[in-house]
């Protein structure tokens, strides 16, 4: 047995979307090594993952990632893929059904079609080209290309699998049993009236003899139309009775994906493949497909894609990032002085991204005490202060980890919800909830001493602290579950719905602009407070897309970027509102949890289950940003990087001068001059197309007056 690891660099394809054309302004980073589904089309295999859709050339290993940032996918959770006779891909997601013809995307949802529910879990296409679509909670629909028909004969409205036999009968696996539909009559099989071992049916395959092989959460069943044969751990070689996938090869062997490995069954003998005895990258096997050469393609939950030719294993990375887990939930983002992004995740730990490399810190490989990161702040020395959900507060200096908990420090609770650092370097730490109901509140830590403020010993209105900001006078603004507090170090002043213009006492976010205005996010809208006047923005009187405001960030131009729960992202320039959501932009999710803005003005947006989004702002090729007047020469990291064919390079010119922008290979040979011109003051964006170059590492060099800057970029084809 040989195990071959094929390391594939990732890249982003700039594709066409149903609602917006080529969209290089948005990039979406996701964790895509968690595979739901596979479909083979000629030399290609299409892979449905938690991070979007992947097209892999099975001969060359080249891949293309499609996600919310660069395609018409309505959601990055691609649960199922079916391919019709015209080559159209029908893609089931958690936000509807998509059709992709290779260029154009068409999305069907509950608002614009007869789709009964957005959660699409199963698709099969019959000989007439009808699409049979199984949803969770909405049951079954048939779509003939024009008309939709919804059926009600199922034993449960959660459809997990669909198969069609040679007589045209449809077999549906649901969470309440198995159903057969002949076009008129329904027959339901369950544990009460048949040999089905468990009512939660997960997979169906039909062999050459017409036998139905049915995977359930309680074992594998063979049904010949009359008799049932059940295989479980207790009476077979199955490594687990939880079955996720079934495929049948040309020799009639059954390949069965389970929660604890892959099994092959020839009708008599069982062969089990696990990480311990084969090249299988993960024991959780979620999908199986078999190509025309007999190769088995195995989708795993966390290990990516494996190809098994009967002897050798080849592993493919199906992710476009180093984000660590299937939840794709980004809860916190901070950017250090070197431009590194520090990304907090739910259940995946802390991630550092320098634009090329990803480093994951978690409870298994570092001093992180918990894998749920709630907040990140960076002090003047570059130390990262990380709040966790039960693991306390962490300081990371790049080498050493220091953990502060209630057991070894003055931290009032191990559930840290907010961190702010004042000009003196004091850390102000907000805590909340958990099991430590009596020990919450606000803490000040000067590096040695702890001071705790709570409702018992201070003017803090509530011990559940959600947000902290420090103004230019050193006042601390503290958002709690029962109002807003200002603390000048001695005196407290509390603002609530009874004595101010606050629309709610639940304060989720606080940001302070250059004029000292406080922008306060609540669960009933956004508030501006100038120290005297309160202005409330909500869905009724403004362009705010949702009243539940989760985060507020302010860019160098003074624009407010407002993240909401289910409403997406909003930009407010003081007069005009612009809304970005999953329907009109490349925003990967409408539940926005975190926003950070880098030195180039790029917005880094953390979402719930959509991964990390980056919005670059919409300027065209080679345009100058008229509003920006740089103070010094700067050359920024290209984006995306690595890239496929096209990337964007930004630079700042603070004075009128001659400018050259050139590209060199690793041997120092100039391969292209991108720009050679005299430029005025401004920030410039130039698109570079690498179609005439080979894959590899290149350097781009900016020469402007006496300034010379060089950056590395990676081209992947």
Query: Do residues 670 and 664 touch, judged by C-beta distance below 8 A?
Result: yes
Express each pLDDT in 536-587 by its tens digit.
Answer: 999 999 999 999 999 999 998 899 999 999 999 999 999 999 999 999 999 9
pLDDT of residue 3: 29
Whether domain 624-715 has CATH 2.60.40.1930: the reply is yes
What length is written for the chain? Answer: 717
pLDDT of residue 676: 82
Express each pLDDT in 631-643 by its tens digit.
Answer: 899 999 998 888 8
pLDDT of residue 449: 98
pLDDT band for 176, please (50, 70, 90 cuts): very high
* CA–CA separation, 19 and 21 (whole Å): 7
Average pLDDT (11-19) is 30
Q: In what order do the strands lie in the sheet with 212-216?
A: 201-206, 212-216, 219-223, 228-231
| Global pTM value | 0.83
Residues of the chain with CATH 2.130.10.10: 330-615
Average pLDDT (415-438) is 87
CATH number for the domain running over 330-615: 2.130.10.10
pLDDT at position 437 over 60: no
Of 432, 540, 444, 527, the C-alpha closest to 482 is 432
Average pLDDT (67-80) is 95
Average pLDDT (72-80) is 97
* CA–CA separation, 508 and 520 (whole Å): 8
| Cα-to-chain-centroid distance, residue 36 | 15
Enter the tokens of residue 246: 């079934």
pLDDT of residue 24: 53
- DSSP codes of every residue in 527-586: EEE-SS-EEEE-TTTSS-S-S-EEEEEE-TT--EEEEEBSS-EEEE-SS-EEEE-TTTS-
CA–CA distances in Å: residue 422 to residues 117, 379, 558, 679: 49, 9, 21, 40
Residues of the chain with CATH 2.60.40.1930: 624-715
pLDDT of residue 20: 32
pLDDT band for 6, please (50, 70, 90 cuts): very low
Average pLDDT (494-516) is 97
Express each pLDDT in 211-235 by its tens digit.
Answer: 999 999 999 999 999 999 999 999 9
pLDDT of residue 1: 32
Average pLDDT (395-417) is 98
Of 161, 121, 162, the C-alpha closest to 138 is 121
Lowest mean pLDDT among 27-36, 43-52, 342-351, 666-675: 666-675
pLDDT of residue 716: 86
Query: Do residues 61 and 316 touch, judged by C-beta distance below 8 A?
Result: yes
Instruction: Decide which of 290 and 683 is more confident.
Output: 290
pLDDT at position 97 over 90: yes
pLDDT of residue 690: 85
Express each pLDDT in 244-286 by its tens digit.
Answer: 999 999 999 999 999 999 999 999 999 999 999 999 999 999 9
pLDDT of residue 556: 84
**In a 3-state reduction of DSSP, which class is residue 439?**
helix
Express each pLDDT in 182-219 by its tens digit.
Answer: 999 999 999 999 999 999 999 999 999 999 999 999 99
Q: CB atoms < 10 A from the CB of 364, how many?
A: 9
pLDDT band for 377, please (50, 70, 90 cuts): very high
pLDDT band for 620, please (50, 70, 90 cuts): very low
Mind spelling out the 3-state secondary structure of 71-124? CCCCCCCEEEEEECCCCCEEEEECCEEEEECCCCEEEECCCCCCCCCCCEEEEE
CA–CA distances in Å: residue 284 to residues 257, 258, 273, 685: 7, 6, 11, 45
pLDDT of residue 678: 82
Express each pLDDT in 17-69 by its tens digit.
Answer: 343 333 458 999 999 999 999 999 999 999 999 999 999 999 999 999 999 99
Enter the tokens of residue 639: 């984006």
pLDDT of residue 646: 81
pLDDT band for 681, please (50, 70, 90 cuts): confident
pLDDT of residue 127: 98
pLDDT of residue 11: 25
pLDDT band for 616, please (50, 70, 90 cuts): confident
Average pLDDT score over the chain: 93
* CA–CA separation, 225 and 165 (whole Å): 12
């Amino acid at each position: 047995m040989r195990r071959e690891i094929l390391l594939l660099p990732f890249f982003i394809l700039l594709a066409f979307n149903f609602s917006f054309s080529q969209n290089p302004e948005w990039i979406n980073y996701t964790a895509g090594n968690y595979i739901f589904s596979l479909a083979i089309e000629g030399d290609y295999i299409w892979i449905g993952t938690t991070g979007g859709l992947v097209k892999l050339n099975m001969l060359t290993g080249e891949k293309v990632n499609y996600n919310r940032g660069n395609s018409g996918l309505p959601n990055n959770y691609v649960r199922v893929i079916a391919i019709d006779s015209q080559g159209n891909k029908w893609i089931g997601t958690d936000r509807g059904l998509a059709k992709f013809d290779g260029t154009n995307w068409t999305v069907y949802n509950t608002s614009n079609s007869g789709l009964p529910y957005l959660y699409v879990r199963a698709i099969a296409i019959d000989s007439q080209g009808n699409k049979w679509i199984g949803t969770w909670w909405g049951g079954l629909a048939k779509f003939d290309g024009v008309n939709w028909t919804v059926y009600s004969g199922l034993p449960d409205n959660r459809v997990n699998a669909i198969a069609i036999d040679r007589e045209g009968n449809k077999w549906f696996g649901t969470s309440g049993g198995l159903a057969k539909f002949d076009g008129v009559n329904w027959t339901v099989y369950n544990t009460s009236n048949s040999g089905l071992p468990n009512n939660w049916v997960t997979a169906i395959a039909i062999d050459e003899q017409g036998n139905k092989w049915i995977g359930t959460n309680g074992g594998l069943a063979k049904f010949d139309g009359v008799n049932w044969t059940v295989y479980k751990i207790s009476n077979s070689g199955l490594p687990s009775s939880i079955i996720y996938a079934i495929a049948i090869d040309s020799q009639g062997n059954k390949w069965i994906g389970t929660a604890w490995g892959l099994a092959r069954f020839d009708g008599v003998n069982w062969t089990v493949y696990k990480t311990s005895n084969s090249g299988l990258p993960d024991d959780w096997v979620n999908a199986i497909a078999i190509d025309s050469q007999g190769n088995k393609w195995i989708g795993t939950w966390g290990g990516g894609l494996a190809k098994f030719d009967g002897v050798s294993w080849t592993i493919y990375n199906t992710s476009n990032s180093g984000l660590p887990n299937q939840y794709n939930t980004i809860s916190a983002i901070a950017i250090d002085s070197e431009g590194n992004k520090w990304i907090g995740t739910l259940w995946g730990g802390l991630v550092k991204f320098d634009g090329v490399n990803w480093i994951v810190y978690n409870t298994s490989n570092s001093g992180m005490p918990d894998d749920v990161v709630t907040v990140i702040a960076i002090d003047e020395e570059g130390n990262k202060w990380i709040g966790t959900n039960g693991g306390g507060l962490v300081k990371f200096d790049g080498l050493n980890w220091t953990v502060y908990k209630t057991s070894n420090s003055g931290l009032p609770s191990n559930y840290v919800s907010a961190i702010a650092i004042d000009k003196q370097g004091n850390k102000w730490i907000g805590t909340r909830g958990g099991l430590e109901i009596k020990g919450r509140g606000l803490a000040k830590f000067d590096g040695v001493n702890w001071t705790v403020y709570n409702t018992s010993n201070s003017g803090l209105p509530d011990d559940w602290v959600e947000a902290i900001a420090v103004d230019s006078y050193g006042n601390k603004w503290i958002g709690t579950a029962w109002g807003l507090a200002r603390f000048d170090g001695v005196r407290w002043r509390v603002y609530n719905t009874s004595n101010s213009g606050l629309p709610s006492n639940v304060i989720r976010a606080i940001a302070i602009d250059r004029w000292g205005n406080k922008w306060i996010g609540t669960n009933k809208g956004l508030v501006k407070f100038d120290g005297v006047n309160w202005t409330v923005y909500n869905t009724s009187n403004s362009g705010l897309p949702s009243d539940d405001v989760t985060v507020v960030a302010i860019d160098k131009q003074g624009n407010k970027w407002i993240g909401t729960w289910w409403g997406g992202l909003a930009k407010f320039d003081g007069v005009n509102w612009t809304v970005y959501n999953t329907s009109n932009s490349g925003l990967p999710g409408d539940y926005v949890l975190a926003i950070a803005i880098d030195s180039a003005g790029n917005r880094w947006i953390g979402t719930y289950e959509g991964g990390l989004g980056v919005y670059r702002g919409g300027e065209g090729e080679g345009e100058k940003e008229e509003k920006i007047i740089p103070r010094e020469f700067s050359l920024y990291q290209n984006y995306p990087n690595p890239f496929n064919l096209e990337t964007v390079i930004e630079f700042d010119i603070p004075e009128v001068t001659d400018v050259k922008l050139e590209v060199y290979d690793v041997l120092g040979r100039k391969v292209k001059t991108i720009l050679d011109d005299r430029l005025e003051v401004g920030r410039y964006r130039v698109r570079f197309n690498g179609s005439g170059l080979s894959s590899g590492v290149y350097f781009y060099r900016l020469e402007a007056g006496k300034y010379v800057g060089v950056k590395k970029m990676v081209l992947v084809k």
